Each structure stands twice: as C-alpha cells, then as structure tokens.
Structure 1
Amino acid sequence: MVRPLSLDLRTRIAAALRDGMTVRAAAKRFGVSAATSVRIGQRDRSGRGLMPSKIGGYVKPILRGAAADAVRQRLQSKPDWTVRALSAELKAVGVIVSHDTVWRFLRSEGKTFKKNAGGKRAGPPESGPVSDAMEDPSTSA
C-alpha cells in the first residue's frame, strides 16, 4: 500500500534544495523521483508546509443511522415511493441527501423497482380488438 514520505525525509530534501542543490541531485541523493523532489521544493517555497496531504479516494455517501431508519419506516408504511420523493421527504425532515444516495441505499437493501410483477408491456385494451393505426394502402374505398 502506498504511504507518504516521512516528514523527516521531506525536511531534508527541502533543506538540500534551499542550500542550492539541484532537483535531480536531491532526488538521487535521497532516493526519490525528480517529480517528488520538485513538488517538495514547491510546497516549501510556497509556505504550505511539508506535511503530507491526505491519501485516499472518494468514499460514496451512504445512509446510516436515523436517516436509514427513516427510509425503512417510510417504505413500510407506503412501499411505492419514488426515489426522488424519498429524498424530498428526507430533506423536509432535515437530512440533506441526493436521490442517487437514496438509490444506492435502496439497492444495498435489496429493493428493486418494477412497474408490474411480470415486467411485461401493457396488452391490448379489454374492450375489444386492437384497431390498426393506418389503413392498408392496397385497398381503396
């Protein structure tokens, strides 16, 4: 797993660069890449400090605790909520959440949304046969 360079090594590289050593020579001396040496020098000159930045990626937001319980309660009382309506309901009670977060939560709970049980298209009307939308051009009236 990747981890940041130690603060001690960063300060030694920055001190060497301040003393006039070239970037490539400092990189070779301390066993780091030239790009790393450049970045450490830039951070030192800009005054941002030499502490490493946070390492890690984006963590997807997920509903937890009271917000998750609120969604479960709403689904028990009325199971045909839309995702956007659920996010609007949560916003009304003070939980600011996007509809995408609600969608991911519902999928993690095993909920699916189908228009009907068979997942089929609607059939013809029950009142009679289906009429053609266009007339047959071969027959003339």
Structure 2
Amino acid sequence: MTRALSTDLRDRVVAALADGASCRAAAKTFSVSVASVVRWSQLHRATGSTAPRPPGARRRPVLLPERDWLLARVAAAPDLTLRALQAELAERGMVASYGAVWAFLAAEGLTFKKKLARRRAA
C-alpha cells in the first residue's frame, strides 16, 4: 500500500482552496488528483486538520460473542465443516458468512490438517 502524501502538501492545497482556487485548479497546480483535493478539503472542514487518518481500520470479529460456543462445538466435532458451522450459527440467530467463520477459526488456530501418517511417500 502506498504512503500518505505529506501534511505540508495537504496544507498547501487546502490553503489554495481557501484563497479561492477551484478543486481542479488546485489539483493541476500541485499535481495531485481532484479526488484527493476534495477529500483533503472535506477532512479539513470536518476535523480542522489535514493529517492523514491511521491506516487500516481494525474490525472486531463478528463471531466474538459466540466464541465459547464455537470452540466447544469444534472440540466436540473436530471434523465439522465450515458450512455446517455456518448453518448451526444461523439456527442460533447469528448470521455469518463462510469467510467470517473461516477467518475466526484461523485466528483461533483451528485449522483442519491431514494427518502426517496418511501423506504420500515423498
């Protein structure tokens, strides 16, 4: 992912807008996109600063309230499929996507791996 442009550049662009330049003119003058100029001006109006926001908003896992139940269910039936877990969650009133179930179990370190004894000879 690319780094955010400097705060100095952002401040100069917003100052140009405050002096009466249009978004397109300011974008052309400072060699940035019109969309960036618009976002920076909106950010300045909303917060009073043009500093970039922290990258990558972290989301809380949607299945966190069902953590104890999920871990107990997987412990009771370790060969349970993700689709079956998704269906059981839906019965409990928790709607979650296949990817959400997968990501939750991966984050908990619960992955289904084939046994080493059953591997082919190398």
1:67 counterpart = 2:66:
yes
1:18 to 18, 21, 25: 21
- State the Cα distance separating 1:95 from its structure 2 match: 2.0
Q: 1:5-44 to 2 correspondence within 5 Å?
A: 5=7, 9=11, 11-18=14-21, 22-23=25-26, 27=29, 33-35=30-32, 39-40=36-37, 43=38
- State the Cα distance separating 1:114 from its structure 2 match: 4.2
| Residues 63-117 of structure 1, C-alpha deviations (whole Å, 9 max, x = no match) | 5532222211211332221111111211222222222222222223232324666
CA contact (8 A) 1:87 1:97 kept: yes
Question: Quick check: which has more Rg, 1 or 2?
Answer: 1
Change (3 A) 1:86 1:104: same
Instruction: Work out the number of aligned pairs and report it.
Output: 106
> Which residues of structure 1 form unaligned runs of 5+?
28-32, 122-141
Instruction: Give the secondary structure class of the aligned counterpart of 1:51.
Output: helix
CA contact (8 A) 1:24 1:34 kept: yes
Change (3 A) 1:115 1:37: closer
In the superposition, the TM-score normalised over structure 2's length comes to 0.56
| Residues 25-63 of structure 1, C-alpha deviations (whole Å, 9 max, x = no match) | 8x4xxxxx32157742xx39xxxx622685534657635
In the superposition, the TM-score normalised over structure 1's length comes to 0.50
- Structure richer in helix, relative to its length: 2
> Which residues of structure 2 form unaligned runs of 5+?
45-51
- The corresponding residue for 2:97 is 98
Change (3 A) 1:61 1:100: farther
Let me know the Cα RMSD of the aligned residues.
4.0
